[in-house]
Amino acid sequence: MLEAARSSPDEATALEGLVRRSKTRALPEPIAVAAASALVDRGEPLLAERLVDGAVSPSARLLLADLRAERGDVAGALATVERVLLRCQELRIMGKRLQDIGKKHDT
């Protein structure tokens, strides 16, 4: 829905509906990121930041870091990027462990 509404007269209505919905329940992260990106394009970075503030996906967290940096919260932006990098490292470690377990099980 949002993708079809981008740069159309219906974009504002779609974004308003998503922002309204986000106040009562979390949006799926891909939708929150897309809506936040559209809000940034429309000059509403603070509203965009609120949409992705609780998100955990790397794309959402990196968008949040960009938004924080742009409003001057460099420390918050760096901390957010650091958490993304730590999470990626944790996933690599878990993947390696699973590979090791698989190799031991195959022998």
85-95 pLDDT, tens digit each = 998 888 888 88
What is the domain-level CATH number for residue 47? 1.25.40
- Convert the pLDDT of each residue in 13-53 to its tens digit: 999 999 999 999 989 999 999 999 999 999 999 999 999 99
pLDDT attached to residue 10? 82
Rg (the chain; Cα; Å) = 18
Quote the mean pLDDT of the chain.
89
Helices marked H in the chain = 2-5, 11-22, 29-41, 45-52, 58-70, 74-106
State if pTM tops 0.85: no
Q: How many domains does the chain have?
A: 1
Query: Residue 9, Cα to own-chain centre: how many angstroms?
Result: 25
> What would the two tokens of residue 60 be?
């959402």
Provide the pLDDT for residue 88: 87
* Domain containing residue 66: 2-106
Q: Is the pLDDT of residue 6 over 70?
A: no
